[in-house]
Amino acid sequence: MGRCAPFFCLMNQRIRILTQGALLAALYVALTYLQNLLVPGSASMAIQFRVSEALCVLAFFTPAAIPGLTVGCLLFNISFAGALPLDFAVGSAATALATAGMWMSRKWTIRGFPLPGLLLPAIANAVLVGWELSVYVGGGFWLNALYVAIGEAAVLLTLGSALYYTLKNRRLDEKFLK
């Protein structure tokens, strides 16, 4: 592959990030709706196991995951009839903070396992969505935060880890940043 002029290389990179982000947003929405169709309520309860959150792992490999998954979360929350009004802002903000933190901490590992980054979605969602649930549903902040953290940690430590190692072992992670 030949070299390109700096302007065109930058343009290609922006197009790639925009395309990756759009695909991730669409995939997030589709997976979340599919999950709600197959197991009603499992992606929108206090203790939720939202399969699409495993996609946050992609933030270790591409910055496109930050806007892509944030927009995906926003689109699902806006279009889901059961979403609470604050979900539009709070859920999307939690996703943005978590994925941005994952991108920034992508090199922090414990024996090759990115545990600190994998726990960021659990922490961000516990604080923000836990607060939101205490406003709308009651039950106290700490209990709601614990429920949200359990669901997020379960998804990221199981499905997220599997996705992470699949990408690494097949060397697909290298294709994201080229």
Q: Quick check: 63 and 17 in contact, CB under 8 A?
A: yes
Instruction: Give me Rg for the CA atoms of the chain.
Output: 17
Find the range with the poorest average confidence among 9-23, 85-99, 122-136, 156-170. Answer: 9-23
* Contact partners, residue 132, CB within 8 Å, separation at least 6: 84, 86, 87, 90, 91
Domain ranges of the chain: 6-176
Residues 129-159: tens digit of each pLDDT: 999 888 888 889 999 999 999 999 999 999 9
Q: What is the pLDDT of residue 7?
A: 55
DSSP H helices, the chain, are 6-38, 65-79, 87-104, 115-136, 141-155, 161-169, 173-176
Q: Quick check: 91 and 56 in contact, CB under 8 A?
A: no
pTM (predicted TM-score): 0.86
The domain defined by 6-176 folds into: Arp2/3 complex 21 kDa subunit ARPC3 (1.10.1760)
Across the range 14-31, mean pLDDT stands at 91
Q: Within 13 Å, how many C-alpha atoms sit on residue 148's CB side?
A: 26
Residues 94-129: tens digit of each pLDDT: 999 999 999 999 999 899 899 999 999 999 999 999
**Residue 112: which region, alpha, beta or left (left: phi > 0; alpha: psi -120 to 50)?**
left
User: Helix or strand or coil: residue 110?
Assistant: strand
